């Protein structure tokens, strides 16, 4: 796979860079800082030496005094190193530390304060469609996803299976996040049926054959590992009775598709529709993250069942509905029209699998691919599509 320029924003000061495994954190940092001191805690040798003597970090920096950028990969492996990093930052303001990890969960559980706010928090997420450009193929990424590690493999389907096993073995099992790996694996498959839906944790717990408190804990683990998102309901200035439960999404369309069992009674269109909705969300989240988190992302659903998939609120106010269809009917516009009645200030857009831009009853309808390719950080969505 050719070298792809990422939209991940850099910083002149020290920062944490969190993101799921395989999303390209190390690759980006090696390209951005080729002359930095690089410490990879996934290396057994580095892990052993720094676990035994965290002060070794100071000795390495002192021996390479001309190098002012220090990258520590997978910092959550040795939380105790943060105390040494903190001390070094206080003693030498010219040093820039970049600390990567796939989760802040272990750091927080260890009582570490993430450097008391002295380092920025950034995220590295799967490829955006606009990063891929001409390499982007909607049908392909709905099945295989956009995790760089997977896309760069010769057999993406096999690589996806390996990727999921890697997370279970390395992140979950080795970090001791769950007692029973088999139950957690079954839960990950069970909750895939909730992808793109309002999360009913009691139903998920029953289907996964675990206690409700256990299921809730598993959801928190998935969120902490950045493998899933819980999308809250938009309730500002609410005029109708709204539901209160969040919607659940896996972080990557390929991971969802791989985990979601498909039997003879499952409609392929239904699974593809959920994958498409999740793909739009993961691109919106990356756009917002790389833009500086100027907006909040919600969904909107009344107790009567009227729904809008995504509400962007903050620097702009936009309601987005996603439909896995090549033709638009009046029924497809129902949710957006209801939202407009309550919030006439909002811009409205419907994304679909067709090929034409349409304006129907004041609602812009445009192809998903066009929307995704034009979605770029630091550019308002309304400026890029209207």
In tens digits, what is the pLDDT along the chain, a chain of 386 residues?
568 999 999 999 999 999 999 999 999 999 999 999 999 998 999 999 999 999 999 999 999 999 999 999 999 888 889 889 989 998 999 999 999 988 777 676 655 556 666 678 899 999 999 999 999 999 999 999 999 999 988 888 889 999 998 888 777 887 777 888 899 999 999 999 999 999 999 999 999 999 999 999 999 999 988 999 999 999 999 888 999 999 999 999 999 999 998 877 678 889 999 999 999 999 999 999 999 988 999 999 999 999 999 999 999 999 999 999 999 999 999 999 999 999 999 999 999 999 999 999 999 999 999 999 999 999 999 999 88
Per the confidence metrics, is the pTM higher than 0.85? yes
4 inside domain:
no
Domain that holds residue 103: 15-123
Same-domain check for residues 112 and 133: no
CA angle 268, 270, 274 (to 5 degrees): 120
> How far apart, in whole angstroms, are the C-alpha atoms of residue 320 and residue 367?
12
Same-domain check for residues 113 and 202: no
The residue from 73, 101, 123 where one domain ends is: 123
pLDDT for res 156? 80
Contact 280, 253 (CB under 8 A): no
Which H helix or E strand runs over 25? helix 25-32
9 inside domain:
no
pLDDT for res 41? 93
Same-domain check for residues 144 and 273: yes
Same-domain check for residues 256 and 358: yes
Given the structure tokens 């979605």, which residue do they identify?
A: 375
Backbone region of residue 3 per phi and psi (left: phi > 0; alpha: psi in -120 to 50; beta: other values): beta
pLDDT for res 260? 94
In 3D space, the residue among 324, 294, 292 whose CA is nearest the CA of residue 309 turns out to be 324
7 inside domain:
no
> How far apart, in whole angstroms, are the C-alpha atoms of residue 101 and residue 26?
10
pLDDT for res 113? 59
pLDDT for res 161? 92
2 inside domain:
no
CATH code: domain of residue 99: 3.40.50.300
Same-domain check for residues 255 and 334: yes
pLDDT for res 294? 86
Count: domains in the chain: 2
pLDDT for res 56? 94
Same-domain check for residues 226 and 311: yes
255 inside domain:
yes
> How far apart, in whole angstroms, are the C-alpha atoms of residue 194 and residue 189?
10
CA 367 to chain centre: 23
Same-domain check for residues 324 and 229: yes
Which H helix or E strand runs over 38? strand 37-40
The residue from 58, 91, 123 where one domain ends is: 123
Contact 232, 284 (CB under 8 A): no
pLDDT for res 112? 55
The residue from 123, 145, 165 where one domain ends is: 123
């Amino acid at each position: 796979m050719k070298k792809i320029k990422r939209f991940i924003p850099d910083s002149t000061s020290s920062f944490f860079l969190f993101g799921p495994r395989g999303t390209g954190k190390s690759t980006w940092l090696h390209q951005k800082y080729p002359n930095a001191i690089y410490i990879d805690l996934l290396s057994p040798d580095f892990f052993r030496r720094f676990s035994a003597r965290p002060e070794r970090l100071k000795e390495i920096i002192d021996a390479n005094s001309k190098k002012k950028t220090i990258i520590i990969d997978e910092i959550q492996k040795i939380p105790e190193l943060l105390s040494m990093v903190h001390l070094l930052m206080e003693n030498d303001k010219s040093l820039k530390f970049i600390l990567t990890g796939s989760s802040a969960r272990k750091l927080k559980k260890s009582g570490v304060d993430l450097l008391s706010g002295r380092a920025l928090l950034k995220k590295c997420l799967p490829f955006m469609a606009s990063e891929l450009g001409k390499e982007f193929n909607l049908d392909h990424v709905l099945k295989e996803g956009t995790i760089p590690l997977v896309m760069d493999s010769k057999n993406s389907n096999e690589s996806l299976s390996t990727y999921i096993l890697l997370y279970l073995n390395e992140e979950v099992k080795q970090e001791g996040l769950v007692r029973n790996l088999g139950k957690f694996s079954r839960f990950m498959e069970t909750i895939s049926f909730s992808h793109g839906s309002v999360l009913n944790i009691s139903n998920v717990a029953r289907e996964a054959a675990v206690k409700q408190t256990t299921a809730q804990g598993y959801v928190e683990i998935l969120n902490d590992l950045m493998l899933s998102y819980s999308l809250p309901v938009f309730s500002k200035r609410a005029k109708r009775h709204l539901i209160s439960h969040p919607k659940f999404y896996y972080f990557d369309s390929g991971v969802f598709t791989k985990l979601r069992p498909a039997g003879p009674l499952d409609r392929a269109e239904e699974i593809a529709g959920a994958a498409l909705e999740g793909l739009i969300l993961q691109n919106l989240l990356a756009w917002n993250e790389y833009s500086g988190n100027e907006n909040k992302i919600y969904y909107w659903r009344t107790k009567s069942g009227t729904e809008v998939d995504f509400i962007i609120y903050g620097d702009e106010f936009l309601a987005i509905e996603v439909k896995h269809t090549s033709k638009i009917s009046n029924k497809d516009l129902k949710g957006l029209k209801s939202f407009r009645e309550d919030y006439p200030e909002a811009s409205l857009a419907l994304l679909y699998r067709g090929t034409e831009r349409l304006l129907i009853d004041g609602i812009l309808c445009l192809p998903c691919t066009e929307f995704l390719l034009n979605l770029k950080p630091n550019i308002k969505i309304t400026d890029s599509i209207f």
